[in-house]
Structure 1
Amino acid sequence: MNITEIFLLFAGGLLAGFINVMAGGAGFMTFPLLLAAGMSETEANASNFVALLPANVVGAYVYRRELQTVRRHLGFRLLLAAAGGVLGSYILIHTGEAAFERVIPWLLLFATLSFALGPWIKQKLERDFAFDGARWLWLSFVLEFAVFVYGGYFGLGMGIVMFAIYAIFSQMTMHQANAIRNVTITLMTVLSIVIFAKAGIIRWVPSLIMMTGAMLGGYLTARIALRMPQNYVRRGILIWAICLTALAFWRYH
């Protein structure tokens, strides 16, 4: 590994830390960098979990006060994260990811539209159908579990989908949703890393270089995000989601 590769991996991790704390989906940017470092697609995917872990760990720590305000059902959500992540990771190991790559752009398009239209859908349901998201909490949990299975398998854009689910089924603020997203994804990621490590598909040195950048980027971004008005945070996430979807269509189609 030469100095240029080391610099690109660190810089990619730094930017990923910014993106992952704010919106999720940074894996789309870091995944090609890990491929460029000489990894197979499976190795790059597994190593990506290691590289991006600090962004969510730091995010969970910085948002710990917001987490105190949404502790109800947190234990169950953590259980869903653990079970879904383990299931998704085992699916990846036993089936590979070639077929999944073909549907990634469409999944991201759905995620972006869900996040963009989430508040409007919720408002229309409440106004026209007297919809009460709290009464459909079971459906929210089913959808969250599905997202965690996807996250354990590949994870690209899962944070965006989670934001959309929270927007429709809860009264959480963006910062409260971010707190839950970070802590559940952290648990899911740790368990997936254990499974991938046992399977021997993680390349540790490039992953740790990128992890160092992600740790710094995640810490700085979480601090900034807490000081930003919610509408700015939401707009930033939506812009990134649109870019992420466009890049996915360009790469896979």
Structure 2
Amino acid sequence: MGWDEIALLFAGGVLAGCINVVAGGAGFMTFPLLVAAGMSEIEANASNFVALLPANVASLFGYRYELRRPNLRLRPRLALAAIGGTCGSLALLGLGEASFRSAIPWLLTFSTVAFALAPTIKRWLEHKHGFDGRSWIWLSFLLEFIVYVYGGYFGLGMGVVLLALYAMFGHDDLHEANAIRNATITLITLIGIALFAHAGVIRWLPSLIMMLGAFIGGYVMIKFVRSVPQNWVRWGILVWSVTLTGIAFWRYS
């Protein structure tokens, strides 16, 4: 591995760490770089879990105060994330990812539309039907579990879908929603790393180089996110989601 390749992986990790804190979907930044480093797609997917772990850990530290709020229902969500993530990762190892690749652009399209329209739909339901998402927590958990399975399998765009679900079901505070998202995704990532390492599909050196960059990017960005209005962050997430969807159609269609 040459110095230019090392620099590219590190820089990609820094940018991915920033993106992961703000919007999720950083895998579309790191996955192609890992493939370019000579990995197969399954190796790149597995190594991606390692590369992005520090960004999630840094986010957990940054959102430590939000994680103490009693209304997050964090324990049942972590249990669902553990079960769903395990199922998804085992499915990847057992089935491979080829059959899933064609669905990625459409899943990202759904996640982008869901995130963009979630506040409007929520207000309409509240006004017309007295909808209170906090009273439908069982439905939220069911939908989240499906996303957790997907996250263990491939996971690109998972964070965007989760943010849309949290907004729909009562977590209007974007920082609070990000705290839940990072906690559940971190757990899924740890489980995936354990399973993929046991299967021998992780390429450690490129992953660790990118991991260092992602840690730095995630730690710096968490401080910046708190200093800007939530509407700006939401628009930034939406722009990035649209970009991800376009890349997915170009790459996987």
Common fold by TM > 0.5: yes
**Distance in 2 of aligned mates of 1:72 and 1:163:** 13
Quote the Cα distance in structure 1 between the aligned partners of 2:73 and 2:207: 33
Question: Take 2:197 and 2:82, find their aligned partners in 1: how far apart are those partners?
Answer: 17
Matched, 1:83 2:98: no
Deviations 1:33-65 (A, max 9, x none): 000100000000000000000111000111101
| Farther off after superposition, 224-233 or 207-216 | 224-233
Q: 2: distance between equivalents of 1:184 and 1:87?
A: 15
TM-score by length of 2: 0.98
Identify the residue that residue 30 of structure 2 maps to in structure 1: 30
Superposed CA deviations along residues 75-121 of structure 1, whole A, max 9, x for unmatched, are 11110111111110000000000111101000000000000000001
Q: 1:106, 1:72 → 2: CA distance?
A: 29
Alignment-mate amino acid for residue 181 of structure 1 = R
Report the counterpart of residue 199 of structure 1 in structure 2.
199
What are structure 2's unaligned runs of at least 5 residues? none
2:180 maps to 1:180? yes
CA distance in 1, matches of 2:190, 2:161: 20
Contact kept? 1:70, 1:176, Cα under 8 Å: no
Distance in 2, matches of 1:70 and 1:109, equals 33
Residues 27-106 of structure 1 aligned to structure 2 (within 5 Å): 27-70=27-70, 72-106=72-106
Q: Distance in 2 between matches of 1:56 and 1:223?
A: 14
Deviation of 1:171 after TM superposition, in Å, equals 3.6
State the superposition RMSD in angstroms: 0.9
Match of residue 8 from structure 1: 8
- 8 Å CA contact 2:58–2:215 kept in 1: the answer is yes
Aligned to 1:243: 243
Residue type at the aligned position of 1:248: A
The alignment partner of 1:161 has SS state of: helix
Structure 1 distance, partners of 2:179, 2:196, is: 26
Name the counterpart of 1:20.
Answer: 20
State TM-score, norm by structure 1: 0.98
Matched, 1:130 2:130: yes
Q: Take 2:71 and 2:7, find their aligned partners in 1: how far apart are those partners?
A: 40
Aligned residues: 253
> CA offset at residue 72 of structure 1?
4.2
- 5+ long unaligned stretches in structure 1: none
Deviations 1:181-225 (A, max 9, x none): 111111110011000000000000000000000000000001111
Distance in 1 (alpha carbons) for counterparts of 2:86 and 2:172: 27
> What letter corresponds to residue 200 of structure 2 in structure 1?
G
Q: Distance in 1 between matches of 2:70 and 2:180?
A: 8
For the residue of structure 1 that corresponds to 2:149, the secondary structure is: helix
1:172 CA displacement: 3.5
- 1:208: which partner in 2? 208
What is the percent sequence identity of the aligned residues? 62
Mean Cα deviation higher: 220-229 or 195-204: 220-229
Q: Do the aligned partners of 2:136 and 2:169 also contact (CA within 8 Å) in 1?
A: yes
CA distance in 1, matches of 2:232, 2:172: 16
Deviation at 1:70, TM superposition (A): 4.5
